[in-house]
């Protein structure tokens, strides 16, 4: 409920209180109700802001707290690498793109990205081979020398963005890998392809 609506209600309550003592109880209840509605609206983020900035939604608040942001990929320029995820231990879907933005590099997982939703402890890593499961047996374990950790995966599905560690030399890194740290299992991988 906006302040513009509440102010006339408060004025009406005050006038009623002054003109009739018998309505004092009703007026008090009305004031308490209006205060409660104002408090509830404020808690839900529905009160108008004094600035011209739009009110933040619950999703915006979660996004700020998690450190995730929708990045404007057009502002980052053209991607320098891309690729499509392939099955490792689990079925895979989606693609990735790596963007260079100043001194930083960002990896973006596509909206249709998906890997095993039941797997625990998932990480996004950069592998040093195009096919990290070649010549390995199921569940395709990785040796510490075969990858660089980017971050714990926020979700097994959907669009996500991660900043790559500054010391990664992308010319030597050949795949983006979804890896289960707990069981040392390669869920899926995507060879890096230079974008022309």
Q: Both 86 and 183 in a single domain? A: yes
Highest mean pLDDT among 15-24, 29-38, 91-100: 91-100
Residue 22 phi/psi, 5-degree rounding, is -70, -20
What mean pLDDT do residues 155-184 have?
Answer: 91
Q: How many domains does the chain have?
A: 2
More confident residue, 98 or 4: 98
Q: Both 186 and 92 in a single domain? A: yes
Q: Given this model, what pLDDT does residue 7 score?
A: 46
Residue with tokens 């933005």: 101
Q: Given this model, what pLDDT does residue 29 score?
A: 54
Q: Given this model, what pLDDT does residue 169 score?
A: 81
Does the pLDDT at position 182 exceed 90?
Answer: yes
Domain that holds residue 102: 79-194
Q: Is residue 65 part of a domain?
A: no
Taking only the tens place, the pLDDT of each residue in 112-121 is 999 999 999 9
Under a CB-based contact definition with an 8 Å cutoff, are residues 157 and 109 in contact?
no
Confidence band of 172 (pLDDT split at 50, 70, 90): low
What mean pLDDT do residues 152-168 have?
Answer: 95
Taking only the tens place, the pLDDT of each residue in 43-98 is 333 333 333 333 333 344 344 333 344 445 556 678 999 999 999 999 999 999 99
Q: Is residue 20 part of a domain?
A: yes
Residue 60 token pair: 């915006």
d(CA 12, CA 141): 72
Q: What is the 3-state secondary structure (H, E, C) of 122-166?
A: EEEEEECCCCCCCCCCCCCCCCHHHEEEEEECCCCECCEEEECCC
Does the pLDDT at position 1 exceed 80?
Answer: no
Q: Is residue 183 part of a domain?
A: yes
Q: Is residue 149 part of a domain?
A: yes
Q: Both 51 and 84 in a single domain? A: no
Q: Both 105 and 172 in a single domain? A: yes
Residue 115 token pair: 């890997």
Q: Given this model, what pLDDT does residue 173 score?
A: 64
Going by the DSSP 8-state scheme, the letter that residue 48 receives in this structure is P
Does the pLDDT at position 19 exceed 60?
Answer: no
Does the pLDDT at position 159 exceed 70?
Answer: yes
Q: Is residue 188 part of a domain?
A: yes
Mean pLDDT of the chain: 74
Residue closest to 178 by CA, chosen among 106, 134, 117, 136:
117
Q: Both 120 and 25 in a single domain? A: no
Measure CA 120 to chain center. Answer: 18
């Amino acid at each position: 409920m906006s302040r513009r609506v509440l102010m006339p209600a408060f004025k009406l309550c005050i006038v009623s209180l002054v003109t009739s003592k018998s309505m004092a109880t009703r007026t008090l209840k009305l004031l308490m109700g209006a205060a409660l509605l104002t408090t509830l609206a404020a808690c839900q983020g529905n009160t108008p802001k004094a600035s011209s900035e739009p009110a933040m939604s619950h999703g915006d608040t979660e996004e700020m707290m998690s450190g995730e942001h929708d990045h404007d990929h057009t502002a980052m320029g053209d991607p320098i690498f891309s690729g499509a995820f392939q099955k490792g231990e689990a079925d895979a879907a989606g693609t990735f793109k790596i963007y260079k933005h100043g001194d930083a590099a960002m990896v973006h997982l596509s909206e249709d990205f998906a890997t095993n939703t039941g797997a625990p402890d998932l990480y996004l890593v950069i592998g040093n081979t195009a096919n990290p499961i070649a010549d390995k047996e199921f569940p395709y374990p990785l040796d510490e020398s075969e990858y660089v950790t980017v971050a714990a995966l926020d979700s097994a599905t959907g669009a996500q963005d991660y900043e790559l560690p500054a010391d990664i030399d992308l010319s030597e890194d050949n795949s983006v890998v979804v890896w289960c740290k707990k069981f040392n299992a390669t869920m899926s991988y995507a060879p890096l392809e230079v974008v022309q």
